[in-house]
Amino acid sequence: MAQNTAQEQEFLSLHNAARREVGVEDVVWDETVAAFARVYAAKRAGDCNLQHSDQAERDDLKVAAAVQMWVNEKQDYDSASGRCMKGRPEELMCGHYTQVVWRNTKAIGCARVKCDNGGIFITCNYTPAGNVPGQRPF
């Protein structure tokens, strides 16, 4: 399923809004990275595995909702320590958020596919990739 320009722009604008909140440069769309994301999403369409949210089961999951779920992990990121807050449930995650705002990332490519089971799978890839151990996102 090829991305359309409006969907690409939506991925970009949502990522860049979150990045501007922490003072890092905007990312641009990279078609090579997007092609990788599309291939991966197509592989997941048969099973919709690697879902991080029950919302991904819905057949109407939109780009904005998916990116917002990633950005909402900001509440679990402790900027003083540069890690997810401790003392929270083990399932606490902030790695999606930190990748969205990773200062060294320059480009993204994303894909959204409808899965065979009716769910939606949304993925983004980043270059250069973030979440480097021992480094802070911004």
Q: For 35-59, give one letter per residue: b (16+ CB within 10 A) or e.
A: ebbbebbeebbeebeebeeeebeee
Which of 55-59, 105-109, 132-136 is predicted least confidently? 55-59
Residue 90 forms part of a structural domain:
yes
Tell me which residue range forms the domain holding 73: 6-127
The structure tokens 């990275």 sit at 33
Residue 25 forms part of a structural domain:
yes
Per-chain mean pLDDT for the chain = 87
Render the chain in DSSP notation, one character per residue. -PPPHHHHHHHHHHHHHHHHHTT-PPPEE-HHHHHHHHHHHHHHTTT--S--SGGGGSTT--HHHHHHHHHGGGGGEETTTTEEPSSS-TT---HHHHHHT-TT--EEEEEEEE-TTS-EEEEEEEES----TT----
Residue 122 forms part of a structural domain:
yes
State the CATH number of the domain containing residue 86. Answer: 3.40.33.10
**Taking CA 19 as the corner, what is the angle to CA 8 and CA 137, rounded to the nearest 5 degrees?**
120
- The structural domain count of the chain equals 1
β-strands 28-29, 107-114 pairing = parallel
- Which whole number is the average pLDDT over 14-25? 98
Q: Answer with the residue of higher pLDDT: 121 or 53.
A: 121
Q: What percent of the chain has pLDDT over 90?
A: 66
Q: Answer with the residue of higher pLDDT: 108 or 57.
A: 108
Residues 78-132 have pLDDT tens digits of: 888 888 886 555 556 899 999 999 999 999 999 999 999 888 999 999 999 999 9
pTM, to two decimals: 0.85
β-strands 83-84, 77-78 pairing = antiparallel
The reported pLDDT for the residue numbered 102 is 98
